[in-house]
Amino acid sequence: MTDARTPEDNASSLAAGPPPVALDGSGRPWPVFAHGSEAEMARILDFYAVAWDYEPRTFPILWNLEGEVVESFSPDFYLPELGLYLEMTTLKQRLVRKKNRKLRRLREIYPDIRIKLFYARDFRAMMLKYGRLALADSLSGTLGQVVPERLEAIIEAPVLAAVADPEPRPASRGARRHRPNLAGAGDPSPGKEAFVER
Amino acid sequence: MRTSTDLEADIGEVLLEEGQIQARIRELGAQISADYAGRQLTLVSVLKGSLPFMADLMRAITLPLRIDLMEVSSYGGATTESSGLVRILKDLSASIEGEEVLICEDIIDTGLTLNYLVRYLGGKKPASLRICTLLDKPARRLVEIPVDYTGFVIPDQFVVGYGLDYGELYRNLRFVGVLRPEVYTSPE
């Protein structure tokens, strides 16, 4: 959902600039997600102990005659343990078509890259399974572009731009990596609702 | 109080009739019995949805076997950044170290839960760890996990019955059916 970089942003490097990072309520660094559905997916991956990076890499997919990158693609997530990129899209069909085109181009140029496009219907089905259909509806399309709690976090917590961050980051390529513990008995925060597997 | 007839009325389409399910389970049982011939098997069922499947599958297997049950929490979302980790609500009642273990799942869609379970159970050092699922919905797959025994590959629809629920209901239907969308989209 985050492929709106300009050619100037992309240069010729495959390494994307790290996305801005804020702090969550417990002081953990947490990326400023471009869309609410991305934040929800990050929580789901955390829950199931699947490590992820947020926007770790930008793939140039179109160059002009001077060899400058004019179009690129930055998948939302990379799941390092699975070797899989994940791109979320809950946008309108016209934009999905554009994204599909970019994805085809990416696969042509980088055939070894494994990437899955997670459509609105996939997200909705996942939320239905977890009893969170109303959330899926609220996060679809434009409504999900700004996540209220993220806005609050951005306002209240210092935004940590990578260049200004003196602390070493746990992620590769400068991006944020979450590697939850594979503990047998996770300890959800108090007050969080635990649903039982169906 | 809703009756079972009311619940059946919520089904838009019967995807798998009871007879189809039972016939396929007999086939799976025969195949598993042949594959594990001469060995003792431990079936691990993941509550709650796979309970009917394991109850029928174990009776279709002609080997000495043990059963065990696990229950794990499922993601329910949260309004803040972290919703915690999956929790083992009920762990195995006996060690599986050195055992031939077969996980019995009702349905595999994203593979997230199964991926967690495989890693968790793999850490308990079984002699082998394989997967049997009644239903496979590959269109939803996020984590690719090799599945050794599959009952049915189903289309990308929300199904209930034969252990599968929506809001904890419909598990006792003897068939697998597609829930009418108005059931989960209508305001409560």
Task: Calculate mean pLDDT across residues B88-109.
Answer: 96
- Asked if the ipTM is above 0.95, the reply is no
Report all structural domains of chain B as residue ranges with CATH numbers, in order of start.
19-73+87-154 (3.40.50.2020)
Instruction: Provide the pLDDT for residue A130.
Output: 82
Instruction: Provide the pLDDT for residue A24.
Output: 62
Element (H, E) at A59: strand A59-63
At B8, give phi and psi (nearest 5°): -65, -30
Which of these ranges, A2-16, A134-148, B25-39, has the smallest mean pLDDT? Answer: A2-16
pTM > 0.80: yes or no = no
Identify all chain A residues contacting B73, using CB atoms and an 8 Å cutoff: 186, 188, 194-197
Percent of chain B with pLDDT strictly greater than 70: 93
Q: What does the alpha-carbon distance between residue A37 and residue A104 come to, in Å, rounded to a whole number?
A: 23
Identify all chain B residues contacting A183, using CB atoms and an 8 Å cutoff: 85
Query: What integer best gives the mean pLDDT of chain B?
Result: 91
In the residue annotation, B109 being an active-site residue is answered as: yes
List the structure tokens of B162. Answer: 């034969």
pLDDT band at B185 (very low <50, low <70, confident <90, very high): confident
**Nearest by Cα to B140 from B112, B166, B117:** B112
Q: Which of B56, B68, B109, B136 is catalytic?
A: B109
Instruction: Provide the pLDDT for residue A31.
Output: 85
> What pLDDT, in 10s, does the model give residues A22-53?
666 666 677 888 888 898 899 999 999 999 99
Nearest by CB to residue B74, choosing from A43, A149, A196, is A196
> Quick check: B177 pLDDT over 90?
yes
> Quick check: A141 pLDDT over 70?
no
A191 or A130, which is more confident: A130
A135/B contact by beta carbon, under 8 A: yes
Instruction: Provide the pLDDT for residue A4.
Output: 41
Instruction: Provide the pLDDT for residue B8.
Output: 86
B11 or B81, which is more confident: B11
Q: Are A89 and A145 in contact (CB under 8 A)?
A: no
At A90, give phi and psi (nearest 5°): -120, 25
Identify all chain A residues contacting B71, using CB atoms and an 8 Å cutoff: 196-197
B51 or A122, which is more confident: B51
Q: What does the alpha-carbon distance between residue A177 and residue A171 come to, in Å, rounded to a whole number?
A: 4
Nearest by CB to residue B76, choosing from A82, A133, A195, is A195
> Quick check: A100 pLDDT over 60?
yes
**Nearest by Cα to A38 from A172, A144, A171:** A144
